[in-house]
Amino acid sequence: MSLKSLKKQRRIQVIALAAVALVISTALIGYAMRDGINFFRSPSQVVAEPPAPNETFRIGGLVEGGTLIRGDGHEIRFSVTDGGASVPVVFAGVLPDLFAENQGMVGTGRYVEGIFVASEILAKHDETYMPKEVMDALKEQGVYQDPNS
């Protein structure tokens, strides 16, 4: 074999090895992130296609007025709505300071027997902020009015 063909063969081997390493590292990153990816859903989407009880996901919308009930201990019950559907929520913990009825919120948790069991609740951080996904879902339902207009 000539020196030129050996260099060419070695270059092909290095490229093939790099491609295999890239595929393996991408697969490992995807596998590691599978539990860390939480997709946002509106209440209408949750009611239309209920997720599995063991699936962790995010839900967002407006805290429905008149539904906020503080139970014994740290348990809080309320409903989240996007104007098209309403989903009852149970949360055991301390709510953010800015959490209130008729305000935007995003919760992380699971949908079990028709109730969203939240492990985390996030509220808007000032009077004009609303998560983009929540705003888009509310606009789709025709419920959201832009406060700046």
For the segment 44-102, what is each residue's pLDDT rounded down to a tens digit? 889 998 988 888 888 988 899 899 888 777 789 999 998 889 999 999 988 888 888 88
| CA count, 13 A, side-chain hemisphere, 63 | 26
Average confidence (pLDDT) over 137-142: 70
Take residue 52 and report the two structure tokens written for it: 């599995």
CA distance 83 to 28: 40
Q: Domain range spanning residue 110?
A: 40-141
The answer to whether residue 44 sits within a structural domain is yes
In one-letter notation, the amino acid at residue 130 is M
| Per-residue model confidence (pLDDT) at position 89 | 95
Containing 120, the helix (H) or strand (E) segment is strand 115-123
Helices (H), 2-142: 3-33, 43-48, 132-141
The number of domains in the chain is 2
Percent of residues, the chain, with pLDDT higher than 70:
82
Q: Please indicate, yes or no, whether residues 33 and 57 belong to a single structural domain of this protein.
A: no
Q: Please indicate, yes or no, whether residues 127 and 90 belong to a single structural domain of this protein.
A: yes
25-34, 92-101, 117-126, 135-144: the lowest-pLDDT one: 135-144
Q: Please indicate, yes or no, whether residues 46 and 74 belong to a single structural domain of this protein.
A: yes
